[in-house]
Amino acid sequence: MFLGILYHNITLVMTKYAIIQLSGKQFKVQENDEFLVDRIETEPGKELTIAEVLLVNDGKKIAVGTPFVDKAAVTIKVIEEIRDKKIRVAKYKAKSRYRRVQGHRQEKSLVQVVSIN
């Protein structure tokens, strides 16, 4: 009974968000969010418009695309380009004294969502 009273006092706040496809991956983004993606061929400080929007929720209604939402776009701004932490890649063959070790650092872009249209 106490849980029912608590449940009725909760107010749901719907925020504006979108699900976009960028570099073959899907991201749920809101305005002013910052997130890491694989390196984008855009200079830091410049804005980029993404038309591959899979879903848009404006707080009142939800638009789902088939596969993309018509006339929907998300504008992002590239903040900086960074390199991810180094990983170790090792090759090894048994009984033949073959060992090779190589390092790799993935290039990433830190982006910020400017607007969802």
Tell me, what amino acid is at 2?
Answer: F
Structure tokens belonging to residue 83: 């390199």
Task: Tell me the whole-structure pTM to 2 decimals.
Answer: 0.78
How do residues 8-53 score in pLDDT, each as one tens digit? 555 555 689 999 999 999 999 999 999 999 999 999 999 999 999 9
Residue 31's contacts (CB-CB under 8 Å, 6 or more residues apart) are 16, 113, 114, 115, 116
Q: Is the pLDDT of residue 3 over 70?
A: no
Q: How many domains does the chain have?
A: 1
What is the rounded distance in angstroms from the CA atom of residue 88 to the CA atom of residue 56? Answer: 39
Q: Residue 91's domain spans which residues?
A: 2-116
Tell me the pLDDT of the chain averaged across its residues. 90
